[in-house]
Structure 1
Amino acid sequence: ISGEVRFQTYERLAAEVNNPRIRWAYLPYSMHMAGPREALQHMIIRKNYGCTHFIIGRDMAGCKSSVSGDDFYGPYQAQDFARENAPELGMETVPSLNLVYTEEEGYVTAEHAEARGLHVKKLSGTQFRQMLRGGEEIPEWFAFRSVVEVLRAAA
């Protein structure tokens, strides 16, 4: 996704969320999928921009083997690495939980869904891109329609 299109999706996302407690800022930097060390690099860059907290998701900057398809890093390895290094940087990490969408309760943590035996709806990034290219309907639980429209227009 080009930087211009990415910026447009952020603008649509900001309009959809419309929360005064959230400050949106575009960082012109692309992911390199280099694992926990890249997550730490993102943290340092944001520190240099004046941030005090860093939201870090599950498997941030993770990548898979092109041969086996196995993940190179554990799902929370980047979060752990960032948390270990946060004091030296003077930053606080805010780990993002692994959220899933369920038919019964909407968005919940994966652990909650598993414990209650809820029916989780899944759509991988690969499936999403295929559906996007094929003009198929993208479920609203997966992405805002306004963001999907920007991505479709750029394809």
Structure 2
Amino acid sequence: RIGTYEALREETEKEFPMFRWAYLPYSMKMAGPREAIQHMIIRKNFGATHFIIGRDMAGTKSTITGDDFYGPYDAQETGKKFSAELGMTVTHYENMVYVGPEEGYVQESIAKAQGKKVTKLSGTEFRRRLRAGEDIPEWFAFKSVVDILRKAGDSAFC
């Protein structure tokens, strides 16, 4: 996992030199909003003042129905609810979608409002293509990261 983070850092450091990478030797528990709070506490203990919570952070699906167990923004709402108590600023964002090479990624609501054609690749489809050795679009993942994941095989998803 660290290899992919290092590759991603190298790919982005010229465009975003202000980013600081903080590696946490922790495996996701897929506990949704509660896990977001746990991550906030851990990061606070390491000196962080801000925490990004993405769409569906630590979300999982029901093994019976396949439906999402948590809502897509439940972790963000929970993080905002406890941010003052934890002394952390929560940064959250809406789902981003790819609308083509000219505009790149935009918020899903903007793409919808403007009638943009959205190109998607689900995590499930990404993993299938990765395992099958099929092409992964450059807009979805850097080739350097894909190469590391392919080399790691199924252990990359543990």
Instruction: Please tell me the TM-score bracket, short chain as reference.
Output: over 0.9
Query: Offset of 1:13 from its aligned partner?
Result: 0.3
Identity within the alignment, %: 63
**TM-score after normalising by structure 1:** 0.94
| Unmatched segments (≥5 aa) in structure 1 | 1-5
TM-score w.r.t. length of structure 2:
0.92
Number of residue pairs matched by the alignment: 150
- Output the amino acid matched with 1:145: K
Q: Please list every run of at least 4 consecutive aligned residues from structure 1 whose deviation after the TM superposition is greater than 6 angstroms.
A: none
Question: 1-side partners of 2:18 and 2:103: how far apart?
Answer: 25
**Which of residues 10, 23, 34 in structure 1 aligns to 2:5?**
10
What letter matches 2:38 in structure 1?
Q
- 1:3 corresponds in structure 2 to none
In structure 2, the gaps of 5 or more residues are: 154-158
Distance 2:130 2:71 in 1: 29
Q: How far, CA to CA, are the matches of 2:128 and 2:73 in structure 1?
A: 27
Partner-residue secondary structure (3-state), 2:140:
coil
Deviations 1:21-66 (A, max 9, x none): 0111211011110110111000000000100000010110111111
The yes-or-no answer on 1:150 pairing with 2:148 is yes
Please give the secondary structure, in 1, of the residue aligned with 2:80.
Answer: helix
Q: CA deviation at 1:79?
A: 0.3
SS of equivalent residue, structure 1 residue 117: coil
* Partner secondary structure for residue 21 of structure 1: coil
User: CA deviation digits over 1:92-116, x for unaligned, max 9?
Assistant: 0000321100136321110011011
Q: SS at 2:111's partner residue?
A: helix
1:128 and 2:126 matched: yes
- Structure 1 residues 99-118: aligned runs within 5 Å: 99-103=96-100, 105-118=103-116
1:65-76 alignment to 2 at 5 Å?
A: 65-76=62-73
